[in-house]
Every structure is written in C-alpha cells, then in structure tokens.
Amino acid sequence: MATISQLNQFPCKTTPNLPSRTPFSPTSPSSVKTTRPTTTPGSSRLLVAKDALKVRPVFLARAATDDGQGPEEDGPAVAVVDKVEEEEEKPKEVVEIENLKRQLVDSFYGTDRGLSASSETRAEIVELITQLEAKNPNPAPTDALTLLNAKWILAYTSFAGLFPLLSRGSSLSLVKVEEISQTIDSESFTVQNSVQFAGPLATTSISTNAKFEVRSPKRVQIKFEEGIIGTPQLTDSIVLPENVEFFGQSIDLTPIKGLLTSVQDTASTVARTISSQPPLKFSISNSNAESWLLTTYLDDELRISRGDGGSVFVLIKEGSPLLTP
C-alpha cells in the first residue's frame, strides 16, 4: 500500500534581515517605492507576507463595554483567524484504481456472473482486469492474509465449470442461483465455497470445505475435504410469480394465488420441522479434490484470482459499496 508522508515535514525558509529603511520590500529601495502606512489611535496593523501561498479571512474583535452598548473605542483589537480545514487530495494512483474498479463492476451488468456476456463485453472485462492487475496494491497477497480473511461474493467468472449450474438456475424460472461465495479463514487456513439457491417454497445451499497452503507470494494450494448440502429453509408464506414460462408458453398464475391461503399454516409447520434437521455432510476424496488459485489483485474490497486452466474469478467483499448497483 502506498503511504502518506507526514504533513508537518515542510521545509522552512529563513528570511534574512532587511535594511531598516525598507522593512516591507523584498527588493532594493531603488526599484520599489514604499509608502508609510497611516494609523489611527486604537487601530491595529495587518501585515500580510508577500510570499504567502493562501490568505485566510481575519476578523478583528473588540471587548464590549460594561453596559453592553458596544465595543470600546480604544480597546485592544484581537485577531481571530478562521482555520480552514483542507481535505487531503487522494493520490492519482488511488483515483485511477477506484475508477477502474467501478468500470469493471459496471461492465458485469446483465452478464449473469459471466454466463451471458458477449464476446465484446468479455474483451472489455479482460482489458480492465489486466489494467487493475498492473496496479495491484498488494503484489504479495499471501503476505496480506488479513485482507483475504473475509466472505467474498462472486461477481464474474470465465470458469466454464460453473456455467451449467448458472444456466440450469436461469432456465428454471422458479429456482435461481441467489449467491455464489467463498469464505476464507486465514487463521485456520480454511476455505468454504458456497452456492445458495432460492425458490418460491424454500432456500438451500451446497458448500464445500477445504484447506489451503501458501505455496508462493500469490499462489495457494487448495485441498477439498467435505461437501455439505444445507437443510432446506422453507418460507412461511408461499410466493408465486405472476407467470411462468413452460415449454415456450407463458402461464398466468394469478388465478391460483387465492388457493394458497388454506395451506399457509401447513407450510409453516413443515418449515419448522425440516429446518430443525442437521445438514447432510459427505467426504471428498477423489483425485479431483485438489486445485490451486493465483491471486493477481487484492485490496480491501476487490479480489481477482486465476485458477488452473486460465479461468478468472472476480470477487467482491461482503458489505462493499461495489455490490450496490
């Protein structure tokens, strides 16, 4: 990360003593005429440095008289300087990175995490990813495990292995892939990949737990250990869409919505019963249970990783403003 230099380390310049007959002139007496300022009793002089970079407003205040009628004529004047708080400008590099990240996230719109991205959109995304990787603020991500320690939401991928899952969810209008995430615990060196499904009657998830080992400043080796099928969580109320596509025909579901009222109590009872059951776990011990992951960009809200096979993953940390359209 780039550091910000201390603000109090400014060079000081000492002004030499000038001749007494030209106390306010930085040049020779022959080149500039000086006029002696006139003063009146009780007034104060305001001296402004010739080379001042900024002029701040100065207010003169006088003490009020005992009867509260106004300021004393001959009272001492007190100079009150208004302190101007200047907002520190962000470094150019930081601004460029923020702009690139926003452009990258905007390019994901309508791509369904990369499933329906056109070739032109993919080319644009690849270009933005390349530019961000060149400006990576953490060139050794495995040395910054505290940044990796979070839940990361998948925003885009070119991994073809996920496309059948995404396309299956999109083809079933009543069931959709709600979220794909990766949770990293840097203290226990564990990774959990999770896919959440949502439907009108229930939500459920399928997860895999794995251990990882640091193999280089950018690369980690992942070994999957077990899979988990989450317990379906039934909704208390059944929600149906207005219509559903079935073999190319649009079916209006509005007439049958009134029939669902009688089954609301039954659905609630079933939901409580099923939700109390533990999730189903199974071990993973086949030859495809290992993989590696290369982190090519990492900051406190965005992560870009590349897998074995050239696939790319763009993930956004949970709670980041980048997740908000």
Distance CA 74, CA 98 (A): 58
Position of tokens 């109390």? Answer: 276
The DSSP H or E segment spanning 305 is: strand 302-307
Any domain includes 22: no
Q: What is the DSSP letter of 35?
A: -
In this structure, are 171 and 245 located in the same domain? no
Any domain includes 66: no
Give 314's contacts (C-beta < 8 A, 6+ positions apart): 104, 108, 129, 154, 155, 156, 157, 302, 303, 304
In this structure, are 108 and 250 located in the same domain? no
- Domain range enclosing 247: 234-269
Any domain includes 239: yes
In this structure, are 108 and 185 located in the same domain? yes
| pLDDT for 45 | 41
In this structure, are 149 and 261 located in the same domain? no
pLDDT of the chain, 325 residues: tens digit per residue: 444 444 344 444 444 454 444 443 444 444 444 444 444 444 444 334 444 444 444 444 454 544 545 544 455 544 444 444 444 678 999 999 999 999 999 999 999 999 899 999 999 999 999 999 999 999 999 998 889 999 999 999 998 888 777 765 554 556 788 899 999 999 999 999 999 988 766 788 889 999 999 999 999 999 999 999 887 776 655 555 666 554 555 656 666 555 555 555 566 666 666 666 788 888 887 766 788 899 999 999 999 999 877 899 999 999 999 998 7
In this structure, are 162 and 299 located in the same domain? yes
Position of tokens 């995304």? Answer: 125
| pLDDT for 266 | 64
Query: Contact at 8 Å (CB) between 314 and 322?
Result: no
Any domain includes 5: no
| pLDDT for 74 | 52
Distance CA 275, CA 293 (A): 35
Any domain includes 307: yes
Domain total of the chain: 2
In this structure, are 312 and 254 located in the same domain? no
Query: Contact at 8 Å (CB) between 211 and 189?
Result: yes
Position of tokens 């208004």? Answer: 82
Q: Provide the token pair at 180.
A: 């794909």
In this structure, are 190 and 104 located in the same domain? yes
Q: How many residues does the chain have?
A: 325
In this structure, are 138 and 255 located in the same domain? no
DSSP result, 206-249 = EEEEEEEEE-SSSEEEEEEEEEEEPPPEE-SS----SEEEETTE
Any domain includes 56: no
Any domain includes 6: no
In this structure, are 112 and 242 located in the same domain? no
In this structure, are 249 and 188 located in the same domain? no
SS (H, E, C) 56-71: CCEEEEECECCCCCCE
Which residue intervals of the chain are DSSP H helices?
A: 92-107, 119-134, 145-148, 163-171, 264-275
In this structure, are 180 and 258 located in the same domain? no
Any domain includes 145: yes
In this structure, are 240 and 108 located in the same domain? no
